Amino acid sequence: MILHHIQTSPNQDNALSCAVHYAGETDSFLLSGNGVYALLEDKWQLALQDRRLFLLKSDVQARGLTKRLVEYACIDHNEFVQQALIHKKVITW
């Protein structure tokens, strides 16, 4: 069980695309930084809809996206650490 940590927008690089491609069924995704912008696009909403997905709350708030991404689980930094401990590995893309 891997936590795939995506920090960049899918418009910047192919990190999210690669992570989705290589992720196993039990893997989770954490979007932080500009990575939270991915969920503004239908393509990534569909690609991640059946995945366990977290957004870093402070990054969602900093970008003014709280209301637009309300249906997604937002976690704080302490919860991020807990997820990192629960998963066997964290891959930052």
Are the C-beta atoms of residues 19 and 38 closer than 8 Å to each other?
A: no
Domains defined for the chain, CATH in brackets = 2-92 (3.40.1260.10)
Which two three-digit tokens encode residue 66?
């709280």
pLDDT tens by residue, 35-50: 999 999 999 999 999 9
Supply the pTM of this predicted model: 0.93
Give 20's Cβ-side CA count (13 Å radius). Answer: 17
Residue 67: alpha-carbon gap to chain centroid: 17
pLDDT tens by residue, 56-81: 999 999 999 999 999 999 999 999 99
Are the C-beta atoms of residues 2 and 24 closer than 8 Å to each other?
A: yes
